[in-house]
Amino acid sequence: MNPLETLLQTEGRVFVLECARTSGLIVAAPLAWLNAPIRIRGALVLTLTFVVHGANDTSNVPNELLEVAWAIVTEFALGAAMGLVVRFIVAMSEVAAEAIAPMLGLGVAQLFDVSSHSNQNILTSILRHLSILIALAIGVHRVLLHALLAGFKVIPVGSVHVPSGGLGVIWELSGQVLLVGARIALPMLAILFVVQITLAFVSRAAPQLQIFSVGFAVATVVGLATLILVLPDISRGFVVEHSKVSSHLEQLFVDLGAIR
């Protein structure tokens, strides 16, 4: 095999591994490209790969077919782990909405979500898109893309290994999803609980009142008014969580042994 063929094969394997890592991030991270057509996301993957190609150390690129296949899996997993950092933060808003919606009477209003291929209530869709818009407004997409491009230098393609201690930041974020989601929903849940208690006392004091027909409208109106009032606080909570993306990504690289 002449040197040109060897060079082309090496560069081809490097490009495929770079595509695998970039694809993992684009697939997992729910940002501006979330609902984009597959062609657009594919073009974005190729564009980012072309941008970073040539800046990698090729000494760790495997030559055997099985080793290359395993490297593709690990590279895709690394990109997906980076995308999951943002995905878990967005999931916090979905958990909060799923807790609030039934008490607002919006639990029966279901929409089909093309990104998760499942039915979700309308409040979940609203808060998820609010969280994504806030992430874009404060530049989370730039932080994520910078981490992707810089990650090729600190973790060259073909050198990804499974850490002995596990991906601590991913486990931590998966546990924080329920905790933070419940904390965001707690003010709304407390007010709606007081409304339900008040309606129970009214029903007790005036048994002739059709509380089931009146209570639904009262709970929905009070709940929506309260949601409008607390929406700035909810948005600040999203800003706080999204501002931690940079530190989470750094911790991810620490878990992988790239930063000590």
pLDDT tens digits, one per residue of 238-258: 898 899 888 888 888 877 755
pLDDT attached to residue 258: 53
Q: Which amino acid is at 24?
A: G
The string of pLDDT tens digits covering residues 170-210 is 888 888 888 888 888 888 888 888 887 887 777 777 666 66
How confident is the model over 88-117, as a mean pLDDT? 76
- Identify the band that residue 213 occupies on the pLDDT scale cut at 50, 70 and 90: low
The string of pLDDT tens digits covering residues 54-69 is 766 666 777 777 887 8
Q: How far is CA 74 from CA 55, 61, 165, 201, in A?
A: 20, 13, 16, 59
